[in-house]
């Protein structure tokens, strides 16, 4: 498995996600959105796997602060400008991706890899 967790360590679901993989002895790479955003290529790959509508968190503080509820916008451009607009965590394993805390899906990925 080549797990990448994308989120903020301030986010409780992201911390819980890290704990899930750590407790199972699965190595992962962590991308802290408080430190850096995603590249356009990374974001494009995630959008292809999940769909653009799944990426933005309309309940986030960043969404409200940017006034996005009241305007039309390009989601990918806005995420590149403010990565904290993303739903968290995003977990990638190669071309697969999941958004939010999804223990059932991650367990299925682990089972596919033969790690139980």
Domains assigned to the chain? 3-113 (3.40.30.10)
Please check the confidence at residue 116 and state whether its pLDDT lies above 80: no
User: Nearest Cα to 63, choosing from 76, 79, 77?
Assistant: 79
Q: Mapping DSSP to helix (H, G, I), strand (E, B) and coil, where does residue 24 land?
A: coil
Q: What is the mean pLDDT of residues 87-115?
A: 92
pLDDT at position 29, please? 96
Residues 6+ apart with CB under 8 A from 64: none
pLDDT digits (tens, 9 = 90+) for 2-48: 999 999 999 999 999 999 999 999 999 999 999 999 999 999 999 99
pLDDT at position 110, please? 93
pTM of the model: 0.88
β-pair type (3-7, 28-32):
parallel
pLDDT digits (tens, 9 = 90+) for 75-85: 999 999 999 99
């Amino acid at each position: 498995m080549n797990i990448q967790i994308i989120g903020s360590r301030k986010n409780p679901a992201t911390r819980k996600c890290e704990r899930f993989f750590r407790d199972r002895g699965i190595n992962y790479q962590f991308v802290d959105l408080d430190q850096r955003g995603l590249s356009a290529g990374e974001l494009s790959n995630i959008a292809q796997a999940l769909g653009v509508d799944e990426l933005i968190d309309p309940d986030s503080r960043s969404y409200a602060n940017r006034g996005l509820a009241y305007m039309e916008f390009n989601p990918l451009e806005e995420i590149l400008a403010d990565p904290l607009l993303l739903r968290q965590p995003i977990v990638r394993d190669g071309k697969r991706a999941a958004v939010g805390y999804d223990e059932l899906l991650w367990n299925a990925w682990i089972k596919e890899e033969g790690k139980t």
